[in-house]
Amino acid sequence: MPLYSYVVGYRGSTYAVQSSSSNFKGFAPQALAQIPDGALPGLTPALRKDLAKAWGEWQQIPELSRVWRTRFKVGDHEMVVYAVETKP
């Protein structure tokens, strides 16, 4: 099973988490659930609940192999998530 690294940007802060999964898209919400409280300032418990509903479309990053990005609103701010297949 591939190892995926998720790099999350929210309100000027970033955080990274890794997990093995057969599908980076389906596992992304569970990966973000692993982000500890306070790691992304402004991501309150109420906003965390909205993450499951907020996902945008994933797009492969041009000219990069096995790297995808999605963007969506969480509260009044944009969240950007990169998924990188770290180990096939």
Residue 52's pLDDT is what? Answer: 67
Shortest CA distance to 4 belongs to which of 29, 27, 37, 33? 27
pLDDT per position in the chain (88 positions), as tens?
889 999 999 999 999 988 888 888 776 777 777 788 889 988 888 888 777 677 778 999 999 999 999 998 888 899 999 999 987 6
41/19 Cα distance (integer angstroms)? 23
Per-residue model confidence as pLDDT tens digits over 21-42: 888 877 677 777 778 888 998 8
28/25 Cα distance (integer angstroms)? 6
